[in-house]
Each structure stands twice: as structure tokens, then as C-alpha cells.
Structure 1
Amino acid sequence: MMGFWRAGQKSGSKAKWTCAAAALAGLTGVSGILLAAAAAHSVPDPRLQTAANFLLLHAAAALAVCGLAAAIPRGGVLFLGAAGFFLSGSLIFGADLSTRAFAGTRLFPMAAPLGGSLLIAGWISVTLAALTVFWQSGAWTPGQNIDD
């Protein structure tokens, strides 16, 4: 584990950001569990269950892309951007739905659409990061037969 941190300044910086994103993903997952419990036991508002689902799903997705970021020496930082989109989008979206359920008001105007747009950006980022790393690896080039 110590080698993970001593792999060089840039790698160490990436490792620290990866761990920070993973820690935030853990807190996002905890938030999802808490909202699911609130939806089941105290505030039977379907928006809470929706928020819980989005938080839990994207916490797991953020952990997955953190794993990719840690495993890929070059280009792994692109996956950290996707984790950032997943975490910020799910937190804004979930906070808006929760605020509506608990307080009857919005977090701020257009919060849910902003959160949803960030989630879409996260999934697009995962796609682009994976394709970028794939192309940079020389595993496939345009025009090459996929069976070669």
C-alpha cells in the first residue's frame, strides 16, 4: 500500500485524489442508505426513495471509476473527472429531492436538472475516458479489423 503513495509526485497526487473521491463516494452511499431508511420509516415520500437510489447507484459507479483511475497508469485521471461528475450530480439531485420531501421547497432553482445533467456528463465522461485509454494503448486503431 505504501508503494501506491510513493509512485511519484504526479501518481501520488492522483492517488490522493482517487482516495478523496472514494471517501466522498462512501459518504454518498451512507446518504443513500439514510434516505432509504427515512423513506421507509418516517417520510413516505417517493422522492426520498428516488434520491436514495440515485445516491447509491452513483456512489457505486464513482467507486468503480476510482478503481479504474488507480489501475490505469496513464489516463486514469480522466476517470476521476467522471467520478466528480457522478458525485456532484447525485449529491445535487439527491439534495434537491430530499429538500422537496422534507421542507416542501427546492434546494435552488433548476437543482434537479443540473444534478441530472452532471450525471449524464459523468456517463459520457466514462465513455470518453475508456475510449481514450483504449486508443492510447494501441489496442485498436480506426480502420483495423476488430478480429485482427
Structure 2
Amino acid sequence: MRMPEGPNRIFIAAALAGVLGAAGVILSAVGAHAVQNPLLATAANFLLIHALAILALAGIALAAPARAGGFLIAAALLFLGACLFCGDLAVRALVEARLFPMAAPIGGSMLICGWTAISVAALAALRPKRG
């Protein structure tokens, strides 16, 4: 399967941000009305924060399409990291099991890498473009 090019990549990032945002609201509601577990609140907050970060990255990528690649890689890392980290927390809170061994640490590491990738992409964007 070929990676989408141009604005489609940006719109995919925005769609994924919507998925994280919706999941964050759902977990907030479940935590408020059904299962009061601090892990759900943490997962919901992380999902909502990272949904907004991914939307911001999509906006940056749309504003600077020649520099979009690094920002979209960062968005992908944030999405995957949030899914693993928050998924593990939610599964622990709801069914007292783990998503899989090391899911939360792997997801957390991906989140750290995603935030670092934002810095790298921003610094790279400051360099003059060759050619």
C-alpha cells in the first residue's frame, strides 16, 4: 500500500486526531458515570491533549507543505503512542488486564519520541531549503 501524498496525508492526520478526541471524551464519560478509576482520567486527558497536538501538527503541515514530512511523522508517533499508552491504561481500568506486556511503556516512549520529533522537524524547517 502506497502512502498518500499531499493534502491527503494532512487530512488523514486530522481524522486520526478526531478519533483520539472522541475516545478521550468517551473515556471521560465512562470515568464520570460508570467506572471511577484514575487510570481512565489519565487516559482521557492524554487522548484529548494529543488529539489537539496532532491537529496543530496537521495545521503546520498544511501551512508549510514543503516541510510537512517531519511534522506528519511526529503526528504518527503521537497517535500510535497515545493508542498504546492510553489503550493499556483503559484496559487496566475496565477489565483489570493489560493490553499486552510493555504496551504502556512502549506507548509512552513513542509519545516522547513524537514530541522530540516535533522539535527536530521545527529546527529542520528553519534551515534553508536546498535546490
TM-score range (shorter-chain normalised) is over 0.9
Cα-Cα RMSD: 1.4
Kindly state the Cα deviation for residue 13 of structure 1 after the two structures are TM-superposed.
Answer: 1.3
Identity %: 46
Name the counterpart of 1:31: 23
Name the counterpart of 1:66: 58
Name the counterpart of 1:19: 11
Kindly state the Cα deviation for residue 136 of structure 1 after the two structures are TM-superposed.
Answer: 2.4
Name the counterpart of 1:40: 32
Structure having greater relative contact order (Cα 8 Å, sep ≥ 6): 2
In structure 1, the gaps of 5 or more residues are 1-11, 139-148
Amino acid at match of 2:12: A
Name the counterpart of 2:104: 112
In structure 2, the gaps of 5 or more residues are none
What SS class does the counterpart of residue 98 from structure 2 fall into?
Answer: coil
Name the counterpart of 1:130: 122
Kindly state the Cα deviation for residue 137 of structure 1 after the two structures are TM-superposed.
Answer: 5.6
Name the counterpart of 1:56: 48
Name the counterpart of 1:77: 69
Name the counterpart of 1:6: none
Q: How many residues align?
A: 127
Structure 1 runs of 4+ with >4 Å offset: none
After superposition, what is the alpha-carbon deviation per residue over 1:32-82, rounded to whole angstroms, capped at 9, x for unaligned? 000011111100000000000000000000000011111113221110001
Contact in 2 for aligned 1:14/1:77 (Cα 8 Å) = no
Q: Which has the larger radius of gyration?
A: 1
Once residues 26 and 36 of structure 1 are traced to their aligned partners in structure 2, the CA distance between those partners, rounded to angstroms, is 15
What SS class does the counterpart of residue 39 from structure 2 fall into?
Answer: helix
Q: Taking structure 1 as the reference length, what is the TM-score of the superposition?
A: 0.82
Q: Taking structure 2 as the reference length, what is the TM-score of the superposition?
A: 0.93
What SS class does the counterpart of residue 74 from structure 1 fall into?
Answer: helix
What SS class does the counterpart of residue 84 from structure 1 fall into?
Answer: helix
Name the counterpart of 1:5: none
What SS class does the counterpart of residue 6 from structure 2 fall into?
Answer: helix
